[in-house]
Structure 1
Amino acid sequence: MSRLPCVNPADAPAPVREALQAALPLNFFRVMANAETAFPDWMRWGGTLLKDLALDPLLREIAILRVARLSDVRYEWVQHAPIARSVGATDEMVHALGRDEIEADCFSPDQRIVLQFTTEVVRDVRPSDETATALTGLLSPREVVELLMVIGQYMMIARVAAATDLEIDKPMGAGVYGAGG
């Protein structure tokens, strides 16, 4: 049982109710809805990170799975493994990420750079000069900042899910794209 209640859309203020009704029925969204003033904008933000980035969706999803693994949060993993597969991740890639094998042969050199960068941002906050240089040689400044936004967003999601002992929903897969985040 979650440490915080899930908001019932019927009992929520209009902006929160509307955001919840437009979203998939995930416990995470319903817990986040407790932050009434921030929730509708946060849902739009999450939708932007899933739909409107220059960052390649596969790179985004392997970074999210890396954050989930480093944070040891099953909720995020359960939701994003199918999303990663829907944007091109192979089962081998998902399994390698689950085993902390970011140097596995199933990853391209570019994907390994993104995974190393994600690892260093999560663990050390500031990536090494070598890793940052490799990433900026691969991605545009826009994509680097978008990757940092994704990493930060999913670090926050992992911490909320862990701190609240959030009950895990069945995976929604690519269906999450129809909702806000």
Structure 2
Amino acid sequence: MNEPRVPGADDDGPTAELLRARRGGELSALDRLLLHSPPVAEGWNALLGALRGATTLPADLRELVVLRVAVLNDAAFEWVSHEPIARRAGLAELQLQVLRRPDAAAEPVWTPLQAAVLAFTDASTRDVAVPEEVFAGVREHLDDRQVVELTALVGGYAMVSRFLVALAVPPPDGEVPG
């Protein structure tokens, strides 16, 4: 297995314990890199904990966004970590395969809500600016809070993927907890 461009930091101390608490006792390679900067690690932990466990978005939509961002940004760590979670959230094998296609949102395997969320994720990740018709598509299905949560989710996992790719963090052997 390849090593990240930066070695992992010491995994002792209060910040490491905060990360362990969210992850169910284990630290990931990502966590060990974040521990080089305790303030960043603590903020990251709070944000990602909220995005993963405190939004009103259904789990299938959340994992659809995470996996699509992973595909668009070529973040293998993110895909490997979240694919099992996506399956438990109800995404089917065919949907997981379609997510890897360039125009995944246009494929006929999604509910109207899932297709709208994918189009939003693609626009926000690829171009940052979300066209009005794409935004209107999610507004047909999501309330104000959920639109804010979706936007933060796309941006948050774009941050995660860029961090992982820039530091060449190799994929884990499987799911990374919470």
Settle same-fold status: TM greater than 0.5: yes
Please name the residue that 1:116 is paired with: 119
Amino acid at match of 1:167: P
2:141 to 131, 135, 138: 138
Q: Distance in 2 between matches of 1:137 and 1:43?
A: 31
Q: SS of the residue aligned with 1:37?
A: helix
Q: What is the match of residue 17 of structure 2? A: 18
Q: Is 1:152 matched up with 2:151?
A: no
Task: Give the aligned partner of residue 105 of structure 1.
Answer: 108
Correspondence 1:162 to 2:161: no
- Render the CA deviation track for 1:33-75: whole Å, top value 9, x for unaligned: 2121221232122111111111111111101111111111111
Runs of 4+ aligned structure 1 residues displaced above 4 Å come to none
Spell out, residue by residue over 1:62-104, the C-alpha distance to the aligned partner (whole angstroms, 9 max, x if none): 0111111111111111111111111111111111102333222
Q: Deviations over 1:106-147 (max 9, x none)?
A: 211111110001100011111111111111121011001101
> 1:1-181 maps to which residues of 2 (within 5 A)?
1-10=3-12, 14-22=13-21, 23=23, 24-100=26-102, 101-172=104-175, 176-177=177-178
Matched-pair contact (CA < 8 Å) for 1:9–1:20: no
Q: Output the TM-score relative to the length of structure 2.
A: 0.90
CA distance in 1, matches of 2:10, 2:135: 43
- Structure 1: where are the runs of 5+ without partners? none
Percent identical pairs in the alignment equals: 30
SS at match of 1:2: coil
Distance in 2, matches of 1:51 and 1:73, equals 21
Range that drifts further, 62-71 or 21-30: 21-30
**Greater shift in the superposed pair: 101-110 or 82-91:** 101-110
Q: TM-score with structure 1 length normalisation?
A: 0.89
Confirm or deny: 8 A CA contact 1:20 1:30 kept in the other structure.
no
Alpha-carbon separation, structure 2, partners of 1:8 and 1:87 = 34
CA distance in 2, matches of 1:41, 1:62: 24
| TM-aligned CA deviation for residue 105 of structure 1 | 2.1
- Residues 83 and 175, structure 2, Cα contact 8 Å, conserved in 1: no
Greater Cα offset, 85-94 or 35-44: 35-44
| Count of aligned positions | 172
